[in-house]
Amino acid sequence: MVISTQGRYTRTAIVLHWLILALLAAQYTVGWTMPHIGRHTPVTTLISLHFSIGVLILGVIVVRLIWRIIHGEPAPEAGVPPWQVRSARAIHRLLYLLLVVVPLLGWINASYRGMPITFFGLVHVPPLVATRAAGWGWTGDIHTIVAEYGILPLVGLHVAAALYHFFIRRDRVLQRMLPGV
């Protein structure tokens, strides 16, 4: 793991972090308002938007991971207990994993259902599996379960930890990821 000697994240890492948050907020809003996807659900504008944002999240998280591998992360804030550093790293890794897995499961499920995926109506995204391919019918349920009971609680822990550092510990952990601070 690369550890940067600077005390904050790079500007690019900060932009990617907040972009992912904005995309997740948009994705959950669309996901909760779009129609349930069943056996014969037509692709509506909201469903198509959900697909497009999912593809975008997948692309941005891949860029974020590559950036992090190349540029590393700042050294832990002085005085933060080692167990908190280890916990933060574990939560980050799990978030990164789920932010790749959940869009892939959604893409596989749309492919399995024969639903066309276009990236904001501009570029056709190829299917990952054939329509009704044996063994892939479970992907939609797992996509939903992991999005709701995996990503959301981890984001909640992430936010709670940042607020704990800001309001209770009064250290600079949160400020290292804030733009312009």
pLDDT exceeds 80 at position 118: yes
Residue located via tokens 């991971």: 65
| Averaged pLDDT for residues 12-40 | 95
| Averaged pLDDT for residues 71-93 | 95
Residue located via tokens 């209770």: 168
pLDDT exceeds 90 at position 5: no
DSSP-H helix ranges across the chain: 11-33, 45-71, 82-112, 139-146, 152-163
Give 81's pLDDT tier (boundaries 50, 70, 90): very high
Considering only residues 141 and 4, tell me which one the structure prediction assigns the higher pLDDT: 141
- 157-169: pLDDT as tens digits: 999 999 999 999 9
Domains and CATH numbers, the chain: 3-177 (1.20.950)
pLDDT exceeds 60 at position 22: yes
pLDDT exceeds 60 at position 152: yes
What is the C-alpha to C-alpha distance for residues 35 and 37, in angstroms, rounded to an integer? 6
pLDDT score of 7: 83
